[in-house]
């Protein structure tokens, strides 16, 4: 038996036969050509063929994963039509007299290098799309047909990584699981796995060899383990785990419609964090009380130019309508730091995590910010909207935003476009400054939501993306809990409610201290809602002071 460890993307335990994804790699030679005009015509013909194919793939993907995730093929069409990309290819052909397939390959390599050096994981993942586009163009230039790939029943698809056009063409009814050597949680393989409930492991590394093709294997999508030719004992243990997890899921389903209330009668709201429209089904399926964090920056990350008012309005309206009157908290765009976008043309900063980001960027570019505010206000008549401001450190930032909102309302009045006057305006507590000044912030805001991811890294002065720092300091340092308690107390002093929207909120082992300090709402990934409800219903937090002392939050 061989055991390989990777990163779990979607839970589940399945068995099947390993099938390595095979692809025909195009061989590209570097040649000088005599007639660049003809070579450019070959490139233009390849573009038209590729665009036609991508449109077909988009229509297939809409049926499989919905419009939001199928949009990856619209992004690929944009890459093919990109002015800078086409200019670079054309110059290599017309000025340097290189063959078209080499010009495409070189340009794609150059662009991929630029993508890899960016801070944003989302942009880095676009390298896979660029490779997909490049291979497609080269196939058409070389007049080669696309490789067909058929899978057997219960196939565990293995590959170094899979590009979007490869995953969408697979017969998903035969795919038991995905396993890749590389990739990240933002990769298309990971997105497809989560959307279609297919167990998946990524980042297994070079140990995943093609020589395992045809081997029987079991995938544990909970722990991220791949067992190749497992022995009888391992199979029996995994089968027990599978049955146990299935029973847990069934038991959790019985909690739908139940209250999030402890044994002693302490109640808390459980909301969901989402990144876009495609997550709504999961929010409803898992019985969330509302949406505690809609990451609006994904509307910017998914486009190659600023999303206009109508596009944003459509997305916000759809979310509000589908939540059917439940509170929807939409965070204004949190761009900057690790979410940089080329078309924003932000200057390179020595430390972007401490630089021009989030609310600072919005206030520096008020016209751009007002476009988002107009879309939000217009959508507010279709549900219960709350707007949340990220990275607030000072009262003046809230006041300036309120002034922009009033200005935006006057613009909508002049257009005779309706909006609600019952919109809550909240702020994220994600810096020590915000927690320390929360008594003053609470007098301006309607609610707080504690962004524990950033609050923890700024409090401990530790980059949360730096794996080398994981061994330093205890998990969720007492200092973090104390700052959360300060914010919670100040919110309640002024009659405001307070929630958590960071990853820490889903940590079951800290649920009792969250309730003891008076957290009113916890927003987590949709799949965590029912397990967290189960945990809450098992707790007794009547001895709040003792619990707070236990976690170092009280003397």
The values of phi and psi at residue 287, to 5°, are 65, 45
24, two tokens: 């025909």
3-state secondary structure of 455: helix
* Residue 332 neighbours by CB distance under 10 Å: 21
**Nearest residue to 201 via CA among 177, 183, 179, 185:** 179
CB 50, CB 136: distance < 8 Å: yes
Give the pLDDT confidence score for residue 9 in this predicted structure: 83
Cα 162 to Cα 333: distance, rounded to the nearest angstrom? 30
Confidence at residue 339, expressed as pLDDT on a 0 to 100 scale = 54
Q: Say if CB 102 and CB 117 are below 8 A apart.
A: no
Residue 471 has, within 13 A of its CA and on its CB side, a CA count of 1
Catalytic residues, which ones?
188, 501
Length of the chain: 555
Q: Which residue has the tokens 């949190």?
A: 334
Q: Would you list the DSSP string of 222-266?
A: TTTEEEES--HHHHHHHHHHHHHHHHHHHHHHTTTT---B-TTS-
| Rounded distance between C-alpha atoms, residue 81 and residue 342, angstroms | 16
Instruction: Give the residue from 327, 324, 328, 423 showing the smallest Cα distance to 373.
Output: 423
**Beta-sheet strands, E only, within 186-337:** 200-202, 216-220, 225-228, 269-274, 291-295, 327-331
Nearest to 189 by CA among 133, 137, 127, 128: 128
With b for 16 or more beta-carbon neighbours within 10 A and e for fewer, the 392-401 pattern comes to bbeeebbebb
The model scores a pTM over 0.75: no
**Residue 488 to residue 143: CA distance in whole angstroms:** 65
Helix (H, G, I), strand (E, B) or coil at 473: coil
Question: Whose structure tokens read 């007098």?
Answer: 443
Sign of CA dihedral 277, 131, 181, 502: negative
Q: Which pLDDT value is given to residue 513?
A: 96
pLDDT of the chain along its 555 residues, tens only? 999 999 888 888 999 999 988 766 678 889 999 999 999 999 999 999 999 888 888 887 776 666 666 777 888 888 888 888 999 999 999 999 999 999 999 998 888 877 766 555 555 566 777 888 888 899 899 888 766 666 777 899 898 887 766 776 777 778 899 999 887 765 666 766 766 678 999 889 888 988 999 899 999 999 999 999 999 999 999 999 988 888 877 877 888 999 999 999 999 999 999 887 878 888 998 899 999 999 888 777 766 778 888 988 988 999 999 999 999 999 998 876 555 566 666 667 666 667 667 888 888 888 989 999 999 999 999 999 999 999 999 999 999 999 999 999 999 999 999 999 999 999 999 999 999 999 999 999 999 999 988 898 888 887 655 545 555 655 668 999 999 999 999 999 999 999 999 888 988 999 999 999 999 999 998 888 999 999 999 999 999 999 999 999 887
**pLDDT score recorded for residue 68:** 62
Q: Are 119 and 357 in contact (CB under 8 A)?
A: no
Given 3-state DSSP classes, what are the helix, strand and coil percentages for the chain, each rounded to the nearest 5?
50, 15, 35
Q: What DSSP state is assigned to residue 425?
A: E
Residue 114 CA to residue 479 CA, distance in Å, equals 38
| CA 239 – CA 110 distance, rounded (Å) | 48
């Amino acid at each position: 038996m061989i055991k390989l460890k990777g990163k779990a993307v979607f839970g589940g335990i399945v068995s099947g036969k390993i099938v390595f994804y095979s692809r025909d790699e195009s061989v590209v030679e570097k040649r000088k050509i005599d007639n660049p005009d003809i070579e450019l015509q070959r490139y233009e013909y390849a573009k038209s063929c590729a665009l036609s194919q991508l449109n077909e793939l988009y229509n297939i993907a809409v049926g499989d994963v919905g419009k939001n995730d199928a949009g990856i093929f619209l992004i690929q069409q944009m890459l093919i039509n990109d002015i800078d990309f086409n200019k670079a290819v054309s110059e290599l052909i017309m000025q340097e007299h290189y063959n078209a397939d080499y010009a495409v390959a070189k340009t794609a390599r150059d662009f991929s290098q630029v993508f890899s050096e960016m801070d944003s994981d989302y942009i880095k993942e676009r390298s896979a799309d660029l490779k997909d586009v490049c291979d497609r163009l080269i196939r058409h230039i070389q007049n080669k047909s696309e490789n067909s790939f058929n899978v057997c029943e219960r196939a565990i698809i293995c590959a170094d990584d899979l590009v979007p056009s490869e995953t969408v063409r697979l017969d998903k009814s035969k795919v038991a699981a995905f396993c890749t050597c590389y990739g990240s949680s933002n990769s298309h393989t990971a997105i497809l796995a989560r959307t279609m409930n297919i167990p998946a492991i990524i980042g297994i590394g070079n140990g995943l060899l093609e020589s395992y093709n045809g081997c029987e294997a079991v995938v544990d999508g909970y722990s991220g383990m791949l067992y190749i030719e497992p022995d009888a004992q391992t199979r029996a243990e995994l089968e027990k785990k599978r049955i146990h997890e299935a029973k847990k899921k069934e038991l959790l389903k019985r909690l739908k419609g139940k209250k999030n209330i402890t044994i002693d009668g302490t109640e808390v709201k459980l909301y969901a964090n989402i990144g876009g429209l495609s997550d709504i089904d999961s929010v409803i399926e898992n019985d969330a009380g509302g949406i505690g964090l809609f990451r609006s920056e994904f509307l910017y990350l998914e486009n190659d130019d600023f999303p206009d008012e109508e596009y944003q309005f459509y997305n916000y309206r759809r979310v509000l309508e589908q939540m059917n009157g439940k509170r929807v908290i939409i965070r204004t765009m949190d761009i900057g730091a690790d979410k940089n976008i080329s078309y924003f043309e932000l200057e390179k900063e020595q430390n972007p995590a401490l630089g021009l980001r989030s609310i600072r960027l919005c206030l520096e570019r008020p016209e751009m910010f007002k476009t988002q505010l107009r879309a939000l206000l217009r959508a507010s008549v279709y549900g219960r909207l709350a707007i949340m401001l990220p990275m607030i450190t000072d009262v003046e930032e809230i006041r300036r935003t309120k002034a922009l909102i009033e200005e935006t309302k006057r613009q909508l009045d002049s257009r005779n476009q309706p909006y609600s006057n019952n919109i809550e305006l909240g702020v994220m507590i994600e810096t020590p400054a915000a927690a320390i000044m929360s008594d003053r912030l609470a007098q301006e805001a309607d609610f707080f939501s504690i962004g524990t991811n950033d609050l923890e890294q700024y409090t401990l002065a530790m980059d949360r993306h730096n794996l080398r720092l994981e061994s330093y300091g205890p998990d969720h340092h007492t200092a973090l809990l104390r700052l959360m308690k300060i914010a919670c107390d100040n919110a309640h002093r002024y009659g405001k409610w307070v929630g958590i929207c960071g990853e820490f909120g889903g940590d079951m082992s800290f649920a009792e201290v969250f309730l003891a300090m008076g957290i009113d709402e916890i927003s987590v990934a949709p799949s965590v809602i029912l397990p967290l409800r189960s945990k809450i219903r098992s707790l007794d937090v009547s001895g709040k002071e003792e619990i707070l002392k236990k976690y170092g939050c009280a003397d």
